[in-house]
Amino acid sequence: MKQSETGDPVPVLALTDVSKSFGAVRALREVSLRLYSGEAHALAGENGAGKSTLIKTLAGVHRPDTGTVLLDGEPVDFQGPADARDAGIAVIYQEPTLFADLTIAENIFMSRQPLRSFGRIDHAAVHEATAALMRRLGVDLDPKRPARGLSIADQQIVEIAKALSFDARVLIMDEPTAALTGSETARLFSVVRTLRAEGAAVLFISHRLEEIFQLCQRVTTLRDGCWIASEPLADLTEDDLVHRMVGRDLDELYPKQDTRIGECALSVRRLTREGVFFDVSFEVRRGEIVALAGLVGAGRSEVVQAVFGVDRADAGAVEVNGRTLPPGSPTAAMDAGIALVPEDRRQRGLVMEMSIERNIGLTGLDELGRAGLVRRTLERGRATDWATKLQLKYNRLSDTVEVLSGGNQQKVVLAKWLATEPSVLIVDEPTRGIDVGTKAEVHRLLSSLAAEGLAVLMVSSDLPEVLGMADRVLVMHEGRLVAEIPRDEATEASVMAAATGRNGGSGEEAA
Amino acid sequence: MITTPRKTRQGEEAPPGPGTPGRSARALAEALLRAREFSIGGALVLLILVTWITNPSFLDSQGTQDLLLNSSILLLLAVGQAVVVLTRNIDLSVGSVVGLSAFACGSFVSGSDHSAATMVLLGIALGALCGLVSGALVSFGRVPALVVTLGMLYVIQGIGYYWADGGQISAANVPDPILELGSGNVLGVPYLPLIAVAVLVATAYYLRTYRSGRELYAIGSNPEAARLAGIPIRRRVLGAYLFSGAVAGLAGALWLARFGTVVADPANGWELTVVSAVVVGGVAITGGVGSVWGAALGATLLTTIGSVLVVLKVNSFWQQAITGVLLLAAITTDRIVHTRTTSALRKRSRK
């Protein structure tokens, strides 16, 4: 291990005061991190805390706005992923990026194949080296088979073999276990332990806290893009770690109005979609905001999409105001009074190239027209109405929605759906990627809509938002509804405990 | 690079035997790749045999020569196009490039005593220039390939028409050594197919044996992964267009040598035949899969069908319909085979 002049070990890879913004969103704010060789270092934080941005900065995909990346104590400026790779940094992304049409051996040695004379690839050496890597990893994969059809676990093995093949000194793994079974995870961990013993530094991200404690020695916690702590895991309990990940005070960002809770508007009974979510039952009443919390991949968006009929449920029923919906029909759901504001507004919520008024008009083309033709004046009238109600900041209603800020785009999506006068409003991640000011406006809007008697179901990964807005919190873990927590008992610790599949969350009851 | 085995389980020291599931996955994939080339090759042989039996003059020395000569130019173009299609792009301008190059070469040699070699180099240079422009717009300008090369098709065509100004290159003005390139032969094999096969073999060897060749496959297979692997995508795509253009330029020079008489834009419409040949030959239009051998076979098959229809005195309008049916059949098979292979390979994942 390289030593500095003072005798302290020099981190093999470090970030000092790194900041990175994407437009108005500050993904990283003066974050520092030190990775030493021979350690497995965990990176903890909620969804959106900046973990992925940090990894991509280390991998040379993003360049920091300010601050430096240090390699063996020397500042480096990665121009691209190739530079990071040449520096011995290997990244294994949650979803491996392989060339499906090429063989395993080619995937591992692409652009780095051993050569013969005249720059020709030595195919025999490529295959031998791949076979040797597979033996070293203790797996039985034919170097000459194509990558197409490999399981996620085997794809990750190929990625790890790639890292081994260039003697990576730093191995970064972004939620590698998310799609793995127990035995596959065990195999991965034994490989990682071997690498660590050989002197590699490992940066490990997982939402499963027990895995962090099993594998790692130190942990760095991020929250809202800020560095919170870097410390040995031996001194921590899981609760300490959860507290560092979420611990912050709620402020007036969440102007929750007291409302009169009315009769049941949406009732979901035993909804199941094979392999995605199971036996999900809950109710949402008029005037109530119910949050659906959980980690990414817990199946929350999938549940609301099945409720709205975008995806077809395999079993179970959805009732709106006492009427059972036919499965798999968004049109019927809309007619019954459900509105769904989807998670990805750019892809699913808006037609980015169309004007504000056209986007708002899309959900009401029947009312806005006569004989199949849309009347521009009606369309414009509806858009003007809603733009005023939601305090949309725009130049002209005929501008394309592309030019609006993220928050105002979200208001357009809301307007588009509120214009259908729904009785149940489902919002999926309503404030992701929105600046703080607009976020509060969206919250105020949701709150006042509920006060007017709308039933609101909100999927959110933003814990303060969940705690600040919801009358009740439903928590999902790995496709199942594991807890229902009333507002006065919902805390960051209780929700996170349920979401990470641990017991002991206060107010938890089997749902 | 060689690492010592850490865990030695039984039988792992030796490469997996033919019975192991890993091997069978590989065998399946390889068999499917070959299957395409074999079936086209088989169809080609069958077609030639049946026609020969029906009309023996089809394969007399003149008939064979015609068959070889007719295939050569399309085969060349298919090789160039295949390299572009492998990177998940397309070059629709090749027909115009052939035309411009043929006309330029014709003007250059008419009434002069320039050598065939000089003329060929001129054609290649002109084609490469066109490919460079297309490639730069696609790779660095980030304009979709379909639009760029469609635009280039019309631009180059326009230049050709302006230059020709209603005139044509007459064979009478083309020096004999140049026409000799088109009609002469070595040991009974005409020059043109020899040149085409030489380009084919060299390209196939390059694609298989050089890092940059494999990177073309990687780019077409998964551009995002290619970026993360640090492959210089834009430079490689530019290179592919440069090659396709140069080959089209060469084809133009050979066109003049073969026909002598050239009007403006003689290869009008060929770009679609070339793309058809490449796809029929098993190069996936979505990139990453296929070989120049397949593309060459596809080109030969399409040309042969044309010649066969003439010999069998079938109305040549049928040729286009048959090409269309083959194209649809090829793409449908690709789709089905792709889905089936993926699920079969999944089942043959370890254990």
> What is the full DSSP assignment across B283-348?
--TTSS---HHHHHHHHHHHHHHHHHHHHTT--THHHHHHHHHHHHHHHHHHHHHHHHHHHHHHHT
The answer to whether residues A391 and A451 belong to one domain is no
A80 touching B (Cβ < 8 Å): yes
Which two structure tokens, joined as six digits, stand for A213? 């404690």
- CA–CA gap between residue B330 and residue B246 (Å, rounded): 28
CA distance B5 to chain A (A): 5
Cβ atoms of A158 and A134 closer than 8 Å: no
- CA–CA gap between residue A475 and residue A506 (Å, rounded): 13
The answer to whether residues A21 and A87 belong to one domain is yes
The set of residues, in sequence order, having a beta carbon less than 8 Å from that of B131 and lying 6+ positions away, is B91, B97, B241, B242, B243, B244, B245, B246, B248
In chain A, count H helices and then E strands: 16, 22
pLDDT of residue B76: 97
The answer to whether residues A445 and A486 belong to one domain is yes
Q: List, for residues A457-466, the tens digit of each pLDDT value.
A: 999 887 878 8
The answer to whether residues A293 and A227 belong to one domain is no
Q: From residue B243, give the alpha-carbon distance in Å to each of B67, B71, B74, B91, B197.
A: 26, 20, 15, 11, 16
The answer to whether residues A485 and A393 belong to one domain is no
Residue A60 falls in which region: left (phi positive, over 0), alpha (psi -120 to 50) or beta: left
Q: Which amino acid, A231?
A: E
The answer to whether residues A33 and A87 belong to one domain is yes
What average pLDDT does this structure show over A356-373? 80
CB contact under 8 A, A99 and B221: yes
Of A405, A421, A437, the residue that ends a domain is A421
Q: What is the pTM of this model?
A: 0.73
Nearest to B33 by CA among B340, B327, B291, B262: B291
Of A421, A449, A470, the residue that ends a domain is A421
- CA–CA gap between residue B13 and residue A308 (Å, rounded): 55
What average pLDDT does this structure show over B312-334? 82
B196 confidence band (pLDDT: 50, 70, 90): very high
Q: From residue B44, give the alpha-carbon distance in Å to each of A413, B156, B303.
A: 58, 34, 10
Over 50: is that where the pLDDT of A310 sits? Answer: yes
CA distance A32 to chain B (A): 24
- Average pLDDT value for chain B: 86
Q: List, for residues A417-454, the tens digit of each pLDDT value.
A: 988 889 999 999 888 766 666 777 888 889 989 998 99
pLDDT of residue B299: 94
CA distance A37 to chain B (A): 21
Which two structure tokens, joined as six digits, stand for A183? 């035995």
DSSP collapsed to 3 states, A123-170 = HHHHHHHHHHHHHHHCCCCCCCCECCCCCHHHHHHHHHHHHHHCCCCE
CATH of the domain at A38: 3.40.50.300
Give the range with max mean pLDDT: A207-216, A441-450, B113-122, B334-343. Answer: B113-122
Of A385, A400, A421, the residue that ends a domain is A421
CB contact under 8 A, B6 and A149: no
Cβ atoms of A204 and A212 closer than 8 Å: yes
Q: Is residue A36 part of a domain?
A: yes
The answer to whether residues A414 and A379 belong to one domain is yes
CA torsion through residues B234, B240, B242, B248, sign: negative
pLDDT of residue B16: 39
The answer to whether residues A165 and A215 belong to one domain is yes
CA distance B217 to chain A (A): 8
pLDDT of residue B19: 40
What average pLDDT does this structure show over B183-205? 92
Number of A:B CB contacts under 8 A? 143
Q: Is residue A104 part of a domain?
A: no
Total domains in chain A come to 3
pLDDT of residue B200: 97
The answer to whether residues A232 and A255 belong to one domain is no
Cβ atoms of B26 and A142 closer than 8 Å: yes
- CA–CA gap between residue B241 and residue B102 (Å, rounded): 19
Q: Is residue A133 part of a domain?
A: no
The answer to whether residues A275 and A242 belong to one domain is no
CB contact under 8 A, B25 and A165: no
Q: Which amino acid, B110?
A: S
CB contact under 8 A, A146 and B345: yes
Which two structure tokens, joined as six digits, stand for B41? 């090759």
Q: Which amino acid, A309?
A: G
B2 confidence band (pLDDT: 50, 70, 90): very low
| Proportion of chain B above pLDDT 70, given as a percent | 91
Which helix (H) or strand (E) element contains residue B252? helix B233-259
User: What is residue A407's three-state secondary structure?
Assistant: helix
The answer to whether residues A84 and A207 belong to one domain is yes
User: What is residue A484's three-state secondary structure?
Assistant: strand
Over 60: is that where the pLDDT of B254 sits? Answer: yes
The answer to whether residues A213 and A320 belong to one domain is no
A326 touching B (Cβ < 8 Å): no
One-character DSSP codes across A175-220: STTTT--HHHHHHHHHHHHHHHHTT-EEEEE-S-HHHHHHH-SEEE
Please list every residue in chain B whose beta carbon sits closer than 8 Å to the beta carbon of residue A99.
217-218, 221-222, 225-226, 288
pLDDT of residue A233: 92
Domain that holds residue A168: 13-98+150-246
Over 50: is that where the pLDDT of B351 sits? Answer: no
CB contact under 8 A, A102 and B221: yes
Q: Is residue A219 part of a domain?
A: yes
CB contact under 8 A, B26 and A144: yes
Of A97, A150, A194, the CB nearest to B224: A97
Cβ atoms of B301 and B295 closer than 8 Å: no
Residues recorded for chain B: 351
User: What is residue A27's three-state secondary structure?
Assistant: strand
What average pLDDT does this structure show over A476-505? 83
All structural domains of chain B, each given as residue ranges with its CATH number in brackets, are 56-341 (1.10.3470)
Q: List, for residues A132-189, the tens digit of each pLDDT value.
A: 999 888 788 899 998 988 887 788 889 889 988 888 899 999 888 766 777 778 888 8
The DSSP code for A121 is B
Q: Is residue A406 part of a domain?
A: yes
Q: Is residue A471 part of a domain?
A: yes
The DSSP code for A396 is -
Q: Is residue A111 part of a domain?
A: no
